[in-house]
Each structure stands twice: as structure tokens, then as C-alpha cells.
Amino acid sequence: MQVFSYQAEHNPVYARFLELLGKHPQSIHAPEEIPHLPIELFKTRTIKTGQWQEQQIFTSSGTTGSRPSRHFLRDAAFYRRHARRTFERFYGPLQNYAVLALLPSYLERTGSSLVFMARDFIEYSGQSESGFYLHDYSGLRQMTERLQAAGRPVLLLGVTFALLEFANYWRQNKRAGAKPLSNQHFILMETGGMKGRGPELTREEVHHRLKKAFGLRQIHSEYGMTELLSQAYSSGEGLFRSPPAMRIRIRDLRDPFAERQTGHSGGINITDLANIDSCSFIATQDIGRQYPDGSFRVLGRSDNSELRGCNLMLST
């Protein structure tokens, strides 16, 4: 509630949003009552809490002709530390892993928060084998097999379309007698990303293809976005868990200010306390379902209809 009061007073965009909704900050008494800012406003507004000079501007990939979201980052060192702590909370020390990143299209543009995080993971791991692989599937395969043969833990972090392409390459160039990858030493983690890269697949379909190609029992996932500083992680079956700084709530798609009961699907609202210098309360366009233990699944995307309050701000 302290973060809400602080941002309601010092974030002009969020304050205006509350005003248009007729929500006075002093009338909000519980976390579930806090209005979440429509994520679309990151495309058209400079969203900052307080006055400061950004060290970095993260931008979303978007689609051709669309306007990208912008996240103004006040403290790059804070983001690095927070991202590391979040990963290590679920997977242990980064220094234990050779970090291999397969992020084409993201790596080929500027402003990607995912590339920023992956680069820091690579450097922080301190392992000479860690690095980016753009379109070098042959080199990535050789490195993967070498590390596996040595029993070295590997984190392969990749966008969905590139992992599927790598899976096809792996299957087509399968060597006689080659052993399947071991879940004990190999974490294959998809981060989403299929826009404009062929037919959209469900996460279940993607994971089925990756499991079959690499002989893995589980495919891991990372859930984050340009507008956030925190990430949720799934160790399999698309079931995500959030760090302490991140809280998920499910809203009714017919009434964006009504919360859905646990177990029901709806729009995903995210509270990200690490976003203290931007906006910690964001209504995403993702659809999900939350469970009693706080874990959640991402089921897809909502349509292009704007949330009430967003239309008002876009017209002012």
C-alpha cells in the first residue's frame, strides 16, 4: 500500500489514470482495490515515478507498423541484481551454469530487456562457454553436446521460434547413437516469442515438440515483459511461480476492475514492487488462471479491446 500511495502521488500518468476513474488514493484501503494501469499506455506515455534521468530505455519488439512499448529504467545495476536474485531463487547460483542464449531478432535490435538480462547472466556466470548464438545452430549443438558429455550444467535460454528451428536442426542432424539430453544437467527455457514467425502455437504444443526433439522430460519457461522488472519461472508444464516482489491477480474480462476467484480464467494483473520507479500495478493483455498456492498459467492473449480508462487517457 505504501508503494501505491507513493506512485499515486508522484507518477503523473498513474495519478491521471486514477483521476479519470474517479478513484481517490485515500479511498483505496486494500491491495485488491488498487487499479492497475493498462499496459497499452507504455506505448504512448512516459511512465515514471518521480523526476530522474533514465540510464536505459527498454523497448518491446511489437509487430511491423506497431508502436513499441517503452520502459524507462532508472538504475541498470538494480535491475541486474534483481534479475539474478529472481533466477537464483528458483534455480540456484548462476555461476553453476554455462548460459547459452538463442535470441535472434531480439539480439538484432536495440532496447531488448531480455537481451540485457541474458547478457548479464552470461557475464555473471563467469564461464568461458557462455555466450550468444545468433543463427549458429551447428555451433550451438556442438557446445551443447560437449557440455553434456562433461556433465556440466547448462541453461539454454531461447525465444520460442528459434528453439523450434533449433529443434528441427537437431532432429534432422541426429547422430547415430547420440544420447538424449539430460534434465539433470540441462535446462531448456523458452521465453515466448512467435510474432510473425509462422502459426501461433499453444505452449503445450511448443513444449511437446521440444521434448520430442531433445528427449527432455520438462521444458522450462520464463514469464516477463518489457514493462516489468520481475520475472516468473516455470520448471515444467507451464505452471509459473512468482518471486516475492511479484504478485498475480486475475481480473474479469467483462469488468476490468472486478477480481476473479481462484481457479477461474481472466486477464492477468501484475503487481511488480521492483517497478518502484515506473508503475508497479499493470493490467496486461494476457489471459491466465491462478491456483490456491499462488502459481498460475498463461492461457493466451485477450483481443485488442482497450481497458476502460485507457481509452479516456488516449483521447486526452
pLDDT at 90: 97
Q: Average pLDDT over the chain, rounded to whole?
A: 90
Which CATH number does 2-53+245-314 carry?
A: 2.30.38.10
pTM of the model: 0.91
**Is 76-234 in the same CATH topology as 2-53+245-314?**
no
Cα–Cα distance, 242 to 121 (Å, whole number) = 19
pLDDT at 195: 60
pLDDT at 316: 46
Predicted confidence band of residue 200 (pLDDT cuts 50, 70, 90):
confident
Q: What is the pLDDT of residues 278-315, one digit of tens each?
A: 999 999 999 999 999 999 999 988 765 444 444 444 44
How many degrees, rounded to 5, is the angle at CA 190 between CA 132 and CA 174?
75
Q: What is the pLDDT of residues 132-189, one digit of tens each?
A: 998 899 999 999 999 998 999 999 999 999 999 999 999 888 765 566 677 778 999 9
Which of 310, 243, 289 is CA-nearest to residue 43? Answer: 310
Give me the torsion for CA of 47, 53, 55, 56, rounded to 10°: 30
Predicted confidence band of residue 77 (pLDDT cuts 50, 70, 90):
very high
Q: What is the pLDDT of residues 78-111, one digit of tens each?
A: 999 999 999 999 999 999 999 999 998 787 788 9
Q: What residue ranges do the domains of the chain occupy?
A: 2-53+245-314, 76-234
Q: Is the pLDDT of residue 194 over 70?
A: no
Which CATH number does 76-234 carry?
A: 3.40.50.980
